[in-house]
Chain A
Amino acid sequence: MAKSIDVSDLNIYYGDFLAVQGVNMTIKARAVTAFIGPSGCGKSTFLRSLNRMHEVIPGARVEGKVVVDGQSLYGPSVDPVAVRRQIGMVFQRPNPFPTMSIYDNVLAGNKLNAKRMKRAEADAIVEKSLRSANLWNEVKDRLGKPGMGLSGGQQQRLCIARAIAVEPQVLLMDEPCSALDPISTSAIEDLIHELKTDYTIVIVTHNMQQAARVSDETGFFNLKATGEPGHLVEFNPTKKMFSNPDEPSTEAYISGRFG
């Protein structure tokens, strides 16, 4: 199910403004890849370009190639909607649908696309997804209650359950723990560990310890100077990155001697 992603010479623009320049990397299947770097350096923009979510912002466009499993995401006849069905996303702030119950939130990906299924099949998907998101035991008795009634950490795990209920190839996470307390964060990190046996996971984080804890490979993004586009400084296995990075600026950032 999981796929690798090849990115070559990717430039991302907002209108005329070049936000991210010249990214080359290969994101491994069934592994966790983390992106770190200062705010505004284009980590999130780059992450969103991996499932064409950046196109939601008017004027955003991309040059270069993103290839998933031999298919270019930016080919002329590629439907962004189809891309997003393959590559799911979890956002910084938990965003369950306020009109839907917990049960319906998990099934949202199927229901919104008017996919018909039997009740038993739907129940199975809900239970499997919630179990994978480590949320089943907490909510199994109140599946009919609104998703907004859960705590922040539970809501975020509900959003992860919702994202994996449609069985994507890749799961993108944009600072999924930045709005959460340490205990919820730890629950989600455990979850990421479990999910990587089935999914390719890409995570953006501001928390260096988190990157070191959960990821197999790490990319460090940085700006050359204020107003310049962001670029990928270094991309290496996490162990090497946090012990013996190639670039001095990576070491400076990781050890807190940045700026």
Chain B
Amino acid sequence: MTDLSKAMSNTPETPGTPPPSRTSVPLTAASLPSVAQLIVGVIGLAVGIFCWLILGWPLIGSAVVGGLVYLVGLPAWSLAVEGKRAATDRMMTGLIWTTFVVAMVPLVSLVYTVIDKGRRAISGDFLTYSLFKTALGQPDGIYHAIMGTLIITLGAAVISIPIGVLAAIHLVEYGKGNRLSRVVTFLVDVMTGIPSIVAGLFAFALFTLLFGPGFQGGIGGSVALSLLMIPIVVRATEEMLRLVPDDLREASYALGTPKWRTIMRVVLPTTIGGIITGITLAVARVIGETAPLLLIAGLADKTNTNPFSGAMSTLPVQIYSFNSQQDTIPLAWGAALVLIVLVLVLNLAARIIGKFFAPKTGH
């Protein structure tokens, strides 16, 4: 009771007093000149270059100092002229751009280095010859590794796409939070975190059990990669299927369509673009795997297009092998560039296919 009356008496408002008369707030305020950003930026750049060239500081330290000058200088100037809110705005804008640049630096640097070093190795011979020498002076090539990567990745996709998409359909359309679907969801989450070498060991053990010790073959690599790929496909497809509004399913049911036809003819077509994008991302994720392939698919100089027998080289494993010998390191860069271009082409293809299948809005 006393608490309550205390709380009541705490409210400062006394009824009956008229509200204080309002003064009109001016809508204009002082602002920095539009070139302020440029000026501070140039000063920051100058300080950075000064530290680097005149004081002889390391490049990264100089860049940090120059950046700090900009990040502190512009908000300080803004605080003096424009006030607190504008200063905060300028500081946060600066911070966000800085983090963006910091995030882009390694990516741009990596792509630049690979293109710069890789393009010297690339040639028609490099792409069409294998490492298997049939004549003296035959050029080195990675044709065998390109074929190996394509065959093994295709094999992994053939295994994982049906399993992954169908599992996701079960989880979303039929599971609806029952015990089985909760267990499956949990297992998929666990599988997402499996280290790739463990997937390789699993495939290795499986094929040793089935075909005896020492088995090497592309199919083993496909199985190992599919273990890594399935959870990604399930997750991506699940998210896409959940985006399909129930309105559409009900519209289909109300026309007397059975559930399976509704899924095949309404739900999947509506979301196929997103599913294809998810699948491509999964492929891009596994195409660069090295460890499991080193274990089960092995390394071969000769082009092997039969995934069921014999060792099969892949680009990542070939890069690893090139890199372990001093004289073939340039070839490693060339193979790395080819691998990146493969992933890029896959991504572009996925975007185009996704666009092509996306529901049309008619605008």
Q: Which residues of chain B from 66 to 105 have any CB-CB distance to chain A below 8 Å in the complex?
A: none
Within 8 Å CB of B361, what residues of A?
98, 146, 148-149
Q: How far is the CB of A120 from chain B (nearest CB, A)?
A: 22
| Cα distance, A145 to B247, chains bound together (Å) | 21
B261 at interface by CB-CB < 8 Å: yes
| Cα distance, A99 to B356, chains bound together (Å) | 11
**A56 touching B249 by the CB < 8 A rule?**
yes
Provide 30 A-B residue pairs closer than 8 Å at the C-beta atoms, listed in order of the A residue.
A53-B254, A81-B256, A83-B256, A84-B257, A89-B250, A91-B251, A95-B245, A95-B251, A98-B248, A98-B270, A98-B360, A99-B270, A99-B359, A108-B252, A108-B255, A109-B257, A111-B265, A112-B257, A112-B265, A113-B257, A113-B261, A145-B362, A146-B362, A148-B362, A149-B360, A150-B362, A162-B255, A163-B254, A163-B255, A166-B255
B162 at interface by CB-CB < 8 Å: no
11 new A-B contacts at CB < 8 Å, known A53-B254, A148-B362: A84-B256, A89-B254, A91-B250, A95-B245, A97-B252, A98-B270, A98-B360, A99-B360, A112-B265, A148-B360, A150-B362
A205 at interface by CB-CB < 8 Å: no
Query: A109: which of B248, B255, B360, B363 is its contact (CB, 8 Å)?
Result: B255
A88 at interface by CB-CB < 8 Å: yes
Within 8 Å CB of A159, what residues of B?
251
| Cα distance, A130 to B42, chains bound together (Å) | 66
| Cα distance, A147 to B270, chains bound together (Å) | 13
Within 8 Å CB of A146, what residues of B?
359-362
B266 at interface by CB-CB < 8 Å: yes
Given A53-B250, A112-B262, residue A98 in contact with residue B359 (CB < 8 A): yes
A61 at interface by CB-CB < 8 Å: no
**A51 touching B363 by the CB < 8 A rule?**
no
Interface residues of A (CB under 8 A from B): 51, 53, 56, 58, 81-86, 88-89, 91, 93, 95-99, 108-109, 111-114, 145-150, 159, 162-163, 166
Query: A97: which of B176, B266, B363 is its contact (CB, 8 Å)?
Result: B266
B258 at interface by CB-CB < 8 Å: yes
Q: How far is the CB of B324 from chain A (nearest CB, A)?
A: 51
**A51 touching B254 by the CB < 8 A rule?**
yes
**B256 touching A82 by the CB < 8 A rule?**
yes
| Cα distance, A149 to B362, chains bound together (Å) | 4
Within 8 Å CB of B176, what residues of A?
58
| Cα distance, A112 to B252, chains bound together (Å) | 8
B253 at interface by CB-CB < 8 Å: yes
| Cα distance, A163 to B358, chains bound together (Å) | 25
**B248 touching A97 by the CB < 8 A rule?**
yes
| Cα distance, A86 to B176, chains bound together (Å) | 28
Within 8 Å CB of B255, what residues of A?
84-85, 88, 108-109, 112-113, 162-163, 166
Within 8 Å CB of B253, what residues of A?
53, 56, 84
| Cα distance, A96 to B362, chains bound together (Å) | 13
**B359 touching A93 by the CB < 8 A rule?**
no
**B360 touching A97 by the CB < 8 A rule?**
no
**A56 touching B250 by the CB < 8 A rule?**
yes
Please, what's the 1-or-0 string for B329-363, where 1 marks a CB less than 8 Å from any CB in chain A? Answer: 00000000000000000000000000000011111
Given A56-B250, A114-B261, residue A166 in contact with residue B270 (CB < 8 A): no
The interface centre, meaning the residue of B245, B247, B253 with most chain A CB atoms within 10 A of its CB, is B253
The interface centre, meaning the residue of B254, B255, B257, B363 with most chain A CB atoms within 10 A of its CB, is B254
| Cα distance, A162 to B257, chains bound together (Å) | 13
| Cα distance, A109 to B261, chains bound together (Å) | 11
Q: Across the interface, name the chain A residue whose C-beta is closest to B361.
A: A148
Within 8 Å CB of B252, what residues of A?
97, 108, 112
Query: B269: which of A99, A145, A150 is its contact (CB, 8 Å)?
Result: A99
Q: Which residues of chain B from 233 to 278 have any CB-CB distance to chain A below 8 Å in the complex?
A: 245-258, 261-262, 265-266, 269-270
**A149 touching B266 by the CB < 8 A rule?**
no
**B254 touching A84 by the CB < 8 A rule?**
yes
Within 8 Å CB of B262, what residues of A?
112
**B248 touching A95 by the CB < 8 A rule?**
yes
Q: How far is the CB of A73 from chain B (nearest CB, A)?
A: 13
| Cα distance, A56 to B249, chains bound together (Å) | 9
Q: How far is the CB of A81 from chain B (nearest CB, A)?
A: 5
